[in-house]
């Protein structure tokens, strides 16, 4: 009995040693750490880029140019504390309110030295404005912009909290509209609506228009970073109106507001700058990172991620 016990103890010791070796080997295996390490590296690069921003006109203008092609750089100014978004940046009033909230937070995150910033978004002849101060916005959102400035993961966590109720509360407190229609005044029908309402000519046979919907199973099927374009496919049976859809470069946070219609089975090529065919975002600089992970992300009009590649 003593001899059997003397053999068991060394075997248990060897077993524990083998387990320890396996644990260390697994922790050192690049395959088990690549995903976490890659994401951490990307986040570190983004954090470094944001924290390197200085409170001056030149970096402010460069940041605006990289944020959206719809920003009017001639009317926007660091010294004047104002950012103008031209017509086409948003398609609905709700998204004007949502972007005023998110972009105010974004620029206070990027430049926490700013005490107050006015943001103007043009939509259908009206101007949606907010000049909420950094202190008031921080209190309303219950965030610290210095923390967001240094941590992209905290920023992403904040964006996930921006829901409809918060957008509506922000709009009620901090958004003003210039050029709005009087309450009893109805908007004049657009040219497209007038065309649909018009009676067919006696000599022309009316033809049914294709059904166009604002939601669909669109998919990013190709990202060509060297040539700066993304291909988006509509695999469905109905045309999809791109009003309110956005294509994002996740790493650089560039936002391209899409427009137009993708017919069933059609593939739309979206260029970061300008292309001979397809849709052009109009960015003045490249937006896709060729050396590191930089997914293209497609958001529907409700801000829901539909596809990424």
Lowest mean pLDDT across 38-52, 101-115, 147-161, 194-208: 194-208
Q: Would you say residue 100 lies in a domain?
A: yes
| Position 200 in a domain | no
pLDDT, mean of residues 70-99: 90
State which of 162, 178, 194 marks the end of a domain.
178
Encode pLDDT of 129-170 as tens digits: 999 999 999 999 999 999 888 888 888 888 888 888 999 999
**Residue 231, beta-bridge partner list:** 222, 269
Q: What is the pLDDT of residue 307?
A: 84
Q: Which residue has the higher pLDDT, 134 or 190?
A: 134
Between 71 and 15, whose confidence is greater? 71
Render pLDDT for 268-277 as a digit per residue (tens, 0 to 9).
888 877 766 7
Predicted local distance difference test score (pLDDT) of residue 258: 86
211 confidence band (pLDDT: 50, 70, 90): very low
Residue 156 lies in a domain: yes
- Average pLDDT, rounded, for the chain: 76
Please tell me whether residues 167 and 221 are part of one structural domain: no
Average pLDDT over residues 15-44: 55
Q: Which of 161, 178, 195 is the last residue of a domain?
A: 178
For residue 293, what is the domain's CATH number? 2.60.40.1260
**Other beta carbons within 10 Å of 15:** 10
pLDDT tier, 209 (very low <50, low <70, confident <90, very high otherwise): very low
The residue among 121 and 238 whose pLDDT is bigger is: 121
Which residues lie below 8 Å from residue 111, measured CB to CB, with a gap of 6+? Answer: 53, 55, 60, 63, 78
Q: Is the pLDDT of residue 249 over 80?
A: no
Q: Is the pLDDT of residue 34 over 60?
A: no
The Cα–Cα gap between 252 and 286 comes to 10
Residue 172 shares a structural domain with residue 242: no
- Please state whether the predicted TM-score (pTM) of the whole model is above 0.85: no
| Domain extent for 259 | 212-308
Number of compact structural domains in the chain: 2
Instruction: Assess if residue 184 is contained within a domain.
Output: no
Pairing of strands 118-123, 296-299: unpaired
Please tell me whether residues 249 and 135 are part of one structural domain.
no
**In a domain? residue 162:** yes
| Greatest mean pLDDT range, 66-70, 129-133, 297-301 | 129-133
54 and 148 in a single domain? The answer is: yes
At residue 191, the pLDDT reads 39
The answer to whether 288 and 281 have CB atoms below 8 angstroms apart is no
CA angle 147, 150, 152 (to 5 degrees): 95
């Amino acid at each position: 009995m003593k001899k059997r016990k003397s053999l068991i103890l060394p075997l248990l010791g060897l077993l524990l040693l083998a387990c320890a070796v396996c644990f260390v080997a697994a922790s050192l295996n690049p395959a088990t750490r690549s995903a976490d390490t890659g994401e951490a590296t990307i986040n570190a690069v983004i954090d470094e880029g944001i924290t390197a921003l200085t409170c001056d006109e030149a970096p402010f203008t460069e940041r605006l140019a990289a944020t959206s092609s719809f920003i009017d750089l001639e009317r926007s100014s660091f010294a004047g504390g104002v950012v103008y978004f031209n017509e086409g940046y948003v398609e609905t009033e709700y998204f004007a309110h949502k972007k005023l909230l998110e972009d105010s937070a974004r620029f206070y995150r990027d430049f926490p030295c700013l005490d107050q910033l006015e943001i103007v978004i043009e939509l259908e002849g009206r101007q949606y404005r907010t000049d909420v101060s950094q202190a008031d916005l921080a209190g309303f959102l219950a965030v610290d912009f210095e923390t967001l400035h240094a941590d992209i993961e905290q920023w992403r966590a904040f964006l996930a909290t921006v829901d409809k109720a918060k957008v509506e509360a922000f709009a009620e407190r901090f958004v003003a509209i210039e050029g709005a229609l009087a309450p009893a005044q109805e908007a004049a029908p657009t040219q497209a609506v007038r065309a649909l309402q018009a009676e067919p000519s006696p000599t022309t046979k009316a033809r049914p228009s294709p059904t166009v919907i604002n939601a669909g199973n669109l998919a990013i099927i190709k990202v060509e970073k060297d040539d700066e374009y993304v291909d988006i496919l509509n695999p469905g049976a109905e045309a999809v109106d791109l009003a309110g859809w956005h294509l994002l470069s996740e790493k650089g946070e560039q936002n391209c507001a899409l427009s137009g219609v993708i017919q069933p089975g059609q593939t739309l090529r979206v260029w970061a700058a300008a292309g001979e065919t397809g849709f052009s975002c109009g960015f003045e600089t490249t937006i896709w990172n060729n050396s590191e992970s930089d997914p293209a992300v497609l958001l529907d009009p409700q801000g829901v991620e539909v596809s990424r590649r």
